[in-house]
Amino acid sequence: MPAELSPIDKAKFAAARRAVDFIQDGMKVGLGTGSTAAWMVRCLAERVREERLKIAGVPTSTRTAELARELGIEVVTLDEAKWLDVTIDGADEFDPELNLIKGGGGALLQEKIVATASDQMIVITDAAKEVAHLGAFPLPVEVVPFGWQTTRALIEEMLVSMDVMGRETTLRQNGGKPFVTDEGNYIVDCHLKRIGNPRQLSLVLNQIPGVVENGLFIDLCDIVIIGGAEGEVEVRDINEGTVTQGRVDFAEESNIFSDLD
């Protein structure tokens, strides 16, 4: 039940619940990956069940696809959908311009492709993810396995000329072996501490042979929804220049928690 959830889970749920209010019947929706996005999928599934909402969901990872199908959301591929009305996803960090670092869950490539193929991107998060400058969270860079050590060395060499505070890189591990993405690639996490020019860094990273994509999401997020542990939500729309406040009543949301007991 809601009372048994941690404050951070309550904040994630509040943001997710508010985000699905943007979804209308007939929409094609990008479904993000991660713990906050999982709450969104649950909330969306509840609307599908109770309102008989007809939507097509394009998941950004195999685990999101499995959850969506399990909860009764129609899942289609991006090729089938072609273009999306909205994508709702989480973020590891966001700055005042709503630039993001994503990829902590390892799905940054599909997440960026889906977000780019959407009319609108909504990010759901909690206040702890807001930063003045990106970079405290390690920046994920997806690389092909072939020659990954050379690619990593090229990344480190390039970082010398970038406006960053740190240049340490690590290969992401999973059970003592390299973490492998849904596309069969590796992830090099860059511990930069502070990124002075995210746009420049993103462009230069993607010019390095062996780099598939990086976790900087620049000019993609339109709305960020920040949830709080007491159900409070703040909606920032960068295109409209508006900030609105609201609240989610946990007492009215018992259905979504029924399968968590």
* CATH code of the domain containing 163: 3.30.70.260
Residue 177 is assigned to a ligand binding site: no
> How confident is residue 114, by pLDDT bands cut at 50, 70 and 90?
very high
Catalytic annotation on 74?
A: no
Task: Indicate the number of domains in the chain.
Answer: 2
Instruction: Decide if pLDDT at 59 tops 90.
Output: yes
Q: Do 19 and 104 fall into the same domain? A: yes
Q: Do 112 and 174 fall into the same domain? A: no
Q: Which pLDDT does position 161 carry in this prediction?
A: 97
Q: Do 111 and 152 fall into the same domain? A: no
Distances (CA, A) of 78 to 116, 138, 246: 11, 28, 33
The helix, strand and coil proportions of the chain, stated in percent and rounded to the nearest 5, come to 35, 25, 40
Mean pLDDT (the chain, rounded):
94
Q: Do 205 and 183 fall into the same domain? A: yes
Residue 222 is assigned to a ligand binding site: no
CA distance 19 to 233: 10
Residue 32 is assigned to a ligand binding site: no
CA distance 163 to 127: 26
Instruction: Decide if pLDDT at 12 tops 60.
Output: yes
Provide the residue range defining the domain that includes 189: 139-214
Q: Read off the CATH number of the domain in which 62 is found.
A: 3.40.50.1360
Q: Which pLDDT does position 1 carry in this prediction?
A: 40
Q: Do 188 and 86 fall into the same domain? A: no
> How confident is residue 5, by pLDDT bands cut at 50, 70 and 90?
confident
- Cβ(214)–Cβ(102) below 8 Å: no
Contacts of 26 (CB under 8 A, 6+ apart): 54, 55
How many helical (H) and strand (E) elements, i.e. helices and strands, does the chain have?
Answer: 7, 16
pLDDT in tens, 85-104: 999 999 999 999 999 999 99
3-state secondary structure of 97: coil
Q: Which pLDDT does position 253 carry in this prediction?
A: 57
Contacts of 183 (CB under 8 A, 6+ apart): 109, 110, 142, 212
pLDDT in tens, 198-251: 999 999 999 999 999 999 999 999 999 999 999 999 999 999 999 999 999 876
Residue 89 is assigned to a ligand binding site: yes
Q: Residues 93, 111, 142, 213: which is the catalytic one?
A: 111
Comparing C-alpha atoms, which of 190, 203, 173, 214 is closest to residue 138? 190
Q: Do 18 and 57 fall into the same domain? A: yes
